[in-house]
Amino acid sequence: MPRPTFQIPFLLCLTQICSSLNVSISLNAPQTAVSVSPSLLSFSIEQDRWTDWVGTTSRNEFFFNALDNYKQLTGEPPQIRIGANSEDHTNFNPNVEFAQLIFPAPSATVPYPEATNITVGDGYYATAKFLPPNTHVIWGLNLGQNNITSAFLNAKSLVKAFASPAIKDAGIKLDAIQIGNEADLYMNNGARPRTYNVTQYVKEWIAFATNVTAAVNLTPSSPTKLWGAGFAGSSHSTTGFSPQAIFEHGILASTPGSLVSTISQHRYSGSFCSGSAGLLQDLMTKSTIRGNLSSFTPDIAVVRAKGLDYVLGETNSYSCHGAPGVSNTAGAALWTLDYLLFATQIGISRVFFHEGIGFKYNLIQPATLTRSILDGSPLPSPLAPHIQPQYYAAIIAAEAIGSTGTTRAVELTISHSRVAGYAFYEGGTLVRALLINSQAFFVGDTQRESIHVDLGFLPTGANPRLPRTMDVKRLSIPHAEDTTGLRWGGQTYETSDARVSGELKVDRIDIANGVDIQGTEAVLLHFD
């Protein structure tokens, strides 16, 4: 017999354009619910301008506050991965205080290009002391230039910084070192011959990792580990570049391979490298999100079978810093939220959203900008540090996860192509649910669709306690393509210091009445 469902009565929707859904939620965590890390949403930061993010002689208060907001909600700050493209252009000089950078000219497609040459000194790594206390850090070393001396010197300086009292006393930890970034692209970007293959990569990685781990005295008992892979794509097989292939070629059987704790892969939903824009509705669409992420299911299964952690160590909407009018918009905030939470359902433990100074897809713009992020044109006046719409996704996810450190989550079964939902459990008991309506509502649209959701509960036990009321908190978005003006529970993070401002607005309603959710909106339900 099917399990009994306690269905809340249907309430007619009163909006102009309306449809309705019945959504069932288990009162107790089902077996399919997965543990969700408090630092599920973390950040990957382009290495060249790291000190612009964190500060040099004093901390960047805006960046610190933006991270601390998250920590206040989950009890744990986002993890920070420092590396990416500029990781493979970074060398060491003890006579440099922080960093010396050489940049190519900006263009309309890439208004804020990465540096092609980065030379750093001890002070560069020491700036990690300005991160929020107890932050966990992953730092990338240069493999692309095939200079083992450079990797050795940078590793020594890096580990020395994290052994300093200022960093140790703050509980800031070097979780892992990553050697090389997107080596599967080396044959395309000139770092290696066109014949470069995964066999050569594994051999090089073992040589570099052996040198680096010996230089800084890493052993299997050391708290600092290694990240493996970090590829831009995957062949999903034992040929080409993939976790399967590096395992097949013996990376884990090597001496430094015993230090690998995590396999990282990178994923973007599309590319803007040559100026081809993506459509906002396409990015937001539920099926697109699931298709993009589910392609990594074979890789995740192989990694987990080895007892290793699996993360998206670098991801965002469109590669090459994002697509204008798409990556920097409110619609992208809903994409971020659904993308992040769906990742947990297929075995991805942490998602590092990539950031760089002036990148279109940033959640946080931590430095003053003087040219447009969309086309590189000079701005009429400098643009102060600010958050972008995707940042609201980080805050909403943090509230949904909560601060217990034991939260489990499950995707809700919703038979609608635009509506996604997740339930969150603490101590095995339902506490919150999140609903996301990814139907894009644009400036030119005359009518805004609304979907009425009636909630039903799947009880367990002889006398289940059914919740009768719930608090409803909404992410208010005027239009999908807006870049400002969002409100989370009536409040804004679009402030000069990244701290929340405004009067909190939460509606207490009877669950029997159901809830309406507009196109381009998310609602968080707190159950009594």
pLDDT band at 279 (very low <50, low <70, confident <90, very high): confident
Residue 191 lies in a domain: yes
Shared domain check, 506 and 485: yes
Overall residue count recorded for the chain in this entry = 528
Shared domain check, 376 and 346: yes
Residue 43 lies in a domain: yes
Shared domain check, 292 and 421: no
**pTM listed for this prediction:** 0.95
d(CA 423, CA 96): 50
d(CA 51, CA 58): 10
Burial (0-12, 13-18, 19+ Cβ within 10 Å), 343: buried
Total tally of structural domains belonging to the chain: 2
The residue type of 480 is A
Domain boundary among 367, 401, 435: 401
Among 412, 417, 413, smallest CA distance to 439 is for 417
Domain hosting 433: range is 6-34+407-527
Quick: pLDDT tens for 33-48: 999 999 999 999 999 9
Percent of the chain with pLDDT over 90: 89
Shared domain check, 212 and 235: yes
Shared domain check, 427 and 302: no
d(CA 354, CA 331): 18
Among 516, 521, 520, 517, smallest CA distance to 441 is for 520
- The CATH number assigned to the domain holding 111 equals 3.20.20.80
Among 154, 144, 148, smallest CA distance to 119 is for 154
CB 116 within 8 A of CB 104: yes
d(CA 482, CA 432): 28
Assess whether pLDDT exceeds 60 at residue 3. no
Burial (0-12, 13-18, 19+ Cβ within 10 Å), 148: middle
- The CATH number assigned to the domain holding 500 equals 2.60.40.1180
CB 119 within 8 A of CB 174: no
CB 23 within 8 A of CB 453: yes
Q: Is 365 helix (H, G, I), strand (E, B) or coil?
A: strand
Residue pointed to by tokens 């906002």: 280
Quick: pLDDT tens for 233-270: 999 999 999 999 999 999 999 999 999 999 999 999 88
As a whole number, the mean pLDDT across the chain is: 93
Could you say which DSSP state residue 257 is in? G
The residue type of 455 is L
Integer Rg of the chain from CA: 23
Assess whether pLDDT exceeds 70 at residue 9. no
Domain boundary among 358, 374, 401: 401
Question: CB 95: neighbour CB atoms within 10 A?
Answer: 7
Shared domain check, 373 and 453: no
Q: Is 507 helix (H, G, I), strand (E, B) or coil?
A: strand
Shared domain check, 47 and 19: no
Average pLDDT (430-458) is 95
Domain boundary among 401, 423, 445: 401
Shared domain check, 450 and 323: no
Residue 61 lies in a domain: yes
Quick: pLDDT tens for 78-109: 999 999 999 999 999 999 999 999 999 999 98
What is the DSSP secondary-structure string of 409-461? EEE-----SSEEEEEEEETTEEEEEEEEE-----TT-S--EEEEEEEEEE--S
Secondary element (H or E) of residue 53: helix 50-54
Residue 476 lies in a domain: yes
pLDDT value of residue 320: 85
Shared domain check, 436 and 361: no
d(CA 417, CA 430): 25
d(CA 259, CA 261): 6
Residue 1 lies in a domain: no
pLDDT value of residue 269: 87
Shared domain check, 142 and 18: no
Which residues are CB-contacts of 26 (< 8 A; sequence separation ≥ 6)?
Answer: 410, 423, 430, 457, 458, 460
Residue 321 lies in a domain: yes
d(CA 501, CA 522): 20
Residue 333 lies in a domain: yes
Shared domain check, 361 and 292: yes
Shared domain check, 516 and 379: no
Question: CB 40: neighbour CB atoms within 10 A?
Answer: 25
The CA–CA distances, whole Å, from 230 to 83, 242, 329 equal: 11, 9, 28
Residue 444 lies in a domain: yes
